[in-house]
Amino acid sequence: LIALVLYALLPLVRSVVAGLQQAPAEVLETARGMGMGPLQQFWHAEAPLALPVWLAGLRVVVVQTLGMAVIAALIGAGGFGAIIFQGLLSSALDLVLLGVIPVVAMAVVFDALFRLVISLLERKNR
């Protein structure tokens, strides 16, 4: 679990930085002109504009982490990865599919949910 969290930090931090950098300078200048302090600028101007980028980065991290969790079976973590590797070692395609199909289904479902949330946020901001 610790290794998966550490592995996910780099793309997550990168998406946070990218989201904050994409805020237009005009919006930040307007927020300053309205008398907002730095914290208010962040919460009322930068964060709402960066949220779709943050969620897109989180979507990638979640799907990536689901895939990497399968590899954790190599160090005895169990889960679907244990079934997959047992099937690979015994050349049993049915065991491999028994482990792969739920992992792929979970990845597709999480990806679709994140896409739905991102599209709803973008539609709301129009």
Domain ranges of the chain: 2-124
What is the phi/psi pair of residue 77, to 5°?
-80, -15
CATH class of 2-124: mainly alpha
Give tens-digit pLDDT for 59-102.
Answer: 999 999 988 888 888 777 777 888 888 888 888 888 889 888 99
pTM over 0.85: no
Give tens-digit pLDDT for 3-43.
Answer: 888 989 999 999 999 999 998 889 989 999 999 999 999 99
Beta-carbon count within 10 A of 38 CB = 10
Quote the CA–CA distance of 71 and 64 in Å, as a whole number: 11
62, 99, 55, 64: which is closest to 78 by C-alpha?
A: 99
Quote the CA–CA distance of 115 and 124 in Å, as a whole number: 14
| pLDDT value, residue 67 | 86
